[in-house]
Structure 1
């Protein structure tokens, strides 16, 4: 399909067109719709599934730098919904920049949340203050990074050939960096690391540079209020150095009825690293959004998540409204 500014967007759909529920997955920065491989496989029985490559990512078309913004991504999502899911309830599931895209949609079209959009999952994402709280570095270092990164973004857009040569995609250094910033302390399976490394390596340097300013300037905490009346899942790994747990805690404060789940030892790419745990939570979210149609857990699935110290004294998983400490 075509975005409002003419950029072609690659969309993939599966499941019956007349399904009672549509799950729309929105991927993160330097990723593609392929990042949802485990969710698309294991949640297909819940209804129709729709994924797309965000502009300038994967198989979607190139974009002018001035349109590489969260606001434009939100407009793209709005167009996807209008053209591909014109009727029926929708569950929006966003990871990282995909979650920011959903918050951008909430800012621009709050009226959609409640009637059309019946549930939301924000996975490893942020409502703002990304440079101050991210990267797992001391506050003084991230403060310096905030001053330097905008200039780096410009350089990445205008001197891509040099930077492409030093990326060494597929090298041991590239894999080591992917493991460090994408996954937690536990050893992630090699093919999973390879798939993420390839998605990152396939994202052109100018695209990385074009999106950095909007990620640094992203501030949509107020927009999260549009999600108050819909079941909302906030899920993050406690080893995430890109959008650390503080980001999800801030969102949880703004959405007191949301379910906050912390995956112990998981990193930023939690959807690839802990697919069973993520899928179980998403299945439960859809179940809460459709009280008249119970969605039974698949045999052998278990809820996985880190409980707070207070919750560790009682059995059972983290439940809606509770906080991870």
Structure 2
């Protein structure tokens, strides 16, 4: 039975399990149960200060919070418990529970984010960092009514993502075919065994495109994620990705925004990032010609520094801050849009 969400946490179950990676990380693994009963696996790297700057890391489709491991390690080494880091697996991903396919929508992920923020009592300055579908989730959070945003983000980092038109560019144009709706209906209604071969064949071009782009571990991770993701997760979000459009909210975003794109990204080509950078006031766009969709690995240090800059951890502003960010990504082409 589904109960209404209660900000007093009556419907949020917490479970401290074990520290992750090293004891000094002060990581607590929690379970946050959403208002519709989906258990989300959360990692909370706390701070000694209740008002510490907080970053929430949002992963992409068919990935998990583990994809942010390079940035978590970097931030913990650099800032220790001066900041709070929260990551979690979206519904149907990683160690989080599955949910009805009808709930596999970007708007629902933004609602889940709201519940996580409330459940974990986030009060310090908030930065949202999203990769791919995680970036779309962050933008969908900004599109929610103010009364449905428990915390107003002061920083925003968008990595390899888009504000809409996903089915119009790159290999994601596969979403524009009638097969998207057909495959969704097939998986939603038929036994898994009867649909596995059909869906695998439909997703195979995505994995092949990823594999052709580069021969590094990041691409292998992405291709493997596509191959091993559950059918309901891999196909459940497709109609939502096809119809997703957050362009209307971009001009109203007041958060300090840094956008990172890759020149060989076939899933969310850099043109998406250029569009967002032009529409979000004072946004900074960093473009990496040799990086693919897996920028969290391909450009790990730069993504970590972009998060720190969005959180204002360097305590600088204006042109000096932008110049410092460009230097932190030395070796790449940095395109600054203001």
TM-score range, shorter chain: 0.7 to 0.9
Q: Quote the Cα distance in structure 1 between the aligned partners of 2:314 and 2:184.
A: 40
Q: Quote the Cα distance in structure 1 between the aligned partners of 2:175 and 2:109.
A: 28
Report the CA distance between 1:146 and its aligned residue: 3.3
Q: Quote the Cα distance in structure 2 between the aligned partners of 1:2 and 1:220.
A: 27
User: Does the CA-based 8 Å contact 1:263-1:305 persist in structure 2?
Assistant: no
1:79 aligns with 2:115: yes
> Which of 118, 121, 129 is matched with 2:157 structurally?
121
Give the alignment of 1:7-18 within 5 angstroms: 7-18=38-49
1:27 aligns with 2:59: yes
User: Does the CA-based 8 Å contact 1:121-1:234 persist in structure 2?
Assistant: yes
1:94 aligns with 2:126: no
Q: 1:143 to 1:43 in 2, by over 3 A?
A: closer
1:279 aligns with 2:304: yes
Any unmatched runs of 5+ in structure 1?
137-141, 308-316
Q: Quote the Cα distance in structure 2 between the aligned partners of 1:263 and 1:110.
A: 34
> Which of 96, 105, 112 is matched with 1:69 structurally?
105
SS of the equivalent of 2:287 reads strand
User: Does the CA-based 8 Å contact 2:210-2:219 persist in structure 1?
Assistant: no
Report the CA distance between 1:288 and its aligned residue: 7.1
The answer for the alignment partner of 1:200 in structure 2 is: 226
Report the CA distance between 1:318 and its aligned residue: 3.7
Q: Quote the Cα distance in structure 1 between the aligned partners of 2:46 and 2:182.
A: 45
The answer for the alignment partner of 1:258 in structure 2 is: 283
1:50 aligns with 2:124: no
- The superposition leaves residues 153-175 of structure 1 with CA deviations (integer Å, 9 ceiling, x where unpaired) of 2224435325545888xxxx98x
**Larger RCO of the pair (alpha carbons < 8 Å, separation 6+):** 1
The answer for the alignment partner of 2:13 in structure 1 is: none
1:319 aligns with 2:336: yes
Q: Quote the Cα distance in structure 1 between the aligned partners of 2:302 and 2:314.
A: 19
Q: Quote the Cα distance in structure 1 between the aligned partners of 2:226 and 2:65.
A: 13
> Which of 193, 200, 214 is matched with 1:161 structurally?
193
The answer for the alignment partner of 2:239 in structure 1 is: 213
Coordinate RMSD, CA, aligned? 3.3
Q: What TM-score does the superposition give when structure 1 sets the normalisation length?
A: 0.79
1:248 aligns with 2:282: no
SS of the equivalent of 2:90 reads coil
1:270 aligns with 2:292: no
Q: Quote the Cα distance in structure 2 between the aligned partners of 1:258 and 1:225.
A: 10
- The superposition leaves residues 87-130 of structure 1 with CA deviations (integer Å, 9 ceiling, x where unpaired) of 111110001110111111111144788x7311001111111111
Q: Quote the Cα distance in structure 1 between the aligned partners of 2:252 and 2:147.
A: 8
Any unmatched runs of 5+ in structure 2?
1-31
